[in-house]
Amino acid sequence: MNFIKVNTYEELSARAAAIICGQVAMKPNCVLGLATGSSPVGAYKKIAEKNNTGEVDFSNVKSVNLDEYVGLNGDHEQSYRYFMNNNLFKHINIDINNTYVPNGCATDVEAECKAYDVLIEKLGGIDLQLLGIGYDGHIGFNEPDTYFEKATHKVTLDSSTIEANSRFFASRDDVPTQAITMGMGGIMSAKKVLLIANGKGKRDIVEKAFFGPITPSVPASILQLHPDLTVIYSEN
Ligand code: F6R
């Protein structure tokens, strides 16, 4: 594991953007695994800047996102499709048809989950997976459990996750209680993994996940077994 501690969110974002753009430069038709949430927003801004100055070209890149709320369609302002369009895809020269987010409004959610894993395989797997980490150690929406779930699946969100995400909704009651998430198999089979975390509040979980025992009660701890993991942490 390559654990990088930096001083500011700005620096974290710059480093993460450099790693992601480096991946695209090395393999212009790569598959990026992307995340939503507040952690990657700064990196996405920097990626857009680099793309706009011609430093990096996303025209042949494909992306697969980690997760989506069940019941929200892509037009809903809190859906992860909407987030990705507005925080990244609209600002770079990626072909929107090459960007994939699970369909939270699929009539058959089980079938959607299976199809998502088939899609990842068809794309040739993920070259670089970007992750944030939840206060309870979740990655994607893989919540603490007694085992690691391999495949893309539907989850019921923990109350701490609903609480944390309620800051984006009008009220806690508006936060969907279920989501579709890529499983640990999809995440762990990515060739490279980059996890970013910032803020004093994330310090304990970062310590547990990367310097504590590997256990499904701290889902991110499985990443210690990944052969090419970079973690960037900023306390501020
Ligand atoms: C989002 C995702 C989540 C977030 C995590 C941290 O696609 O998969 O696991 O990465 O909840 O969220 P933030 O960055 O908002 O603290």
Q: Which atom of ligand 1 is nearest to the CA of 132?
A: 10
> What pTM was estimated for this model as a whole?
0.97
**Alpha carbon of 114 to ligand 1 centroid (Å):** 22
Structure tokens at 34: 């992307």
The answer to whether 142 touches 149, Cβ cutoff 8 Å, is yes
Q: Name the residue at shortest CA distance from atom 11 of ligand 1.
A: 134
Which of 65, 81, 138 gets mutated to test ligand 1 (max ligand atoms within 8 A of its CB)?
138
Answer yes or no: is pLDDT of 185 > 90.
Answer: yes
The domains found in the chain, sorted by start residue, are 28-37+56-228 (3.40.50.1360)
- Quote the mean pLDDT of the chain: 97
Of the two residues 160 and 81, the one the predictor is more confident about is 81
Residues facing 197 on adjacent strands: 233
In the numeric block, the tokens 């598959």 are attached to: 31
pLDDT tier, 79 (very low <50, low <70, confident <90, very high otherwise): very high
pLDDT tier, 158 (very low <50, low <70, confident <90, very high otherwise): confident
User: Is the CB of 70 inside a 6 Å radius of any atom of ligand 1?
Assistant: no
pLDDT of amino acid 115: 98
Q: Which residues have a catalytic role annotated?
A: 67, 136, 138, 143
Alpha helices in 88-178 (DSSP H): 109-122, 159-165
pLDDT of amino acid 135: 94
pLDDT digits (tens, 9 = 90+) for 211-226: 999 999 999 999 999 9
Structure tokens at 105: 């409004």
pLDDT digits (tens, 9 = 90+) for 10-66: 999 999 999 999 999 999 999 999 999 999 999 999 999 999 999 999 999 999 999
pLDDT of amino acid 45: 98
User: Is the CB of 219 inside a 6 Å radius of any atom of ligand 1?
Assistant: no
Q: pLDDT over 90 for what percent of the chain?
A: 97
CA distance 72 to 74: 7
DSSP conformational letter for 135: T
**Alpha carbon of 172 to ligand 1 centroid (Å):** 17
pLDDT digits (tens, 9 = 90+) for 99-136: 999 999 999 999 999 999 999 999 999 999 999 999 99
Q: Which atom of ligand 1 is nearest to the CA of 181?
A: 8
pLDDT of amino acid 64: 98
The answer to whether 131 touches 39, Cβ cutoff 8 Å, is no
**Alpha carbon of 134 to ligand 1 centroid (Å):** 6
Residues facing 153 on adjacent strands: 181
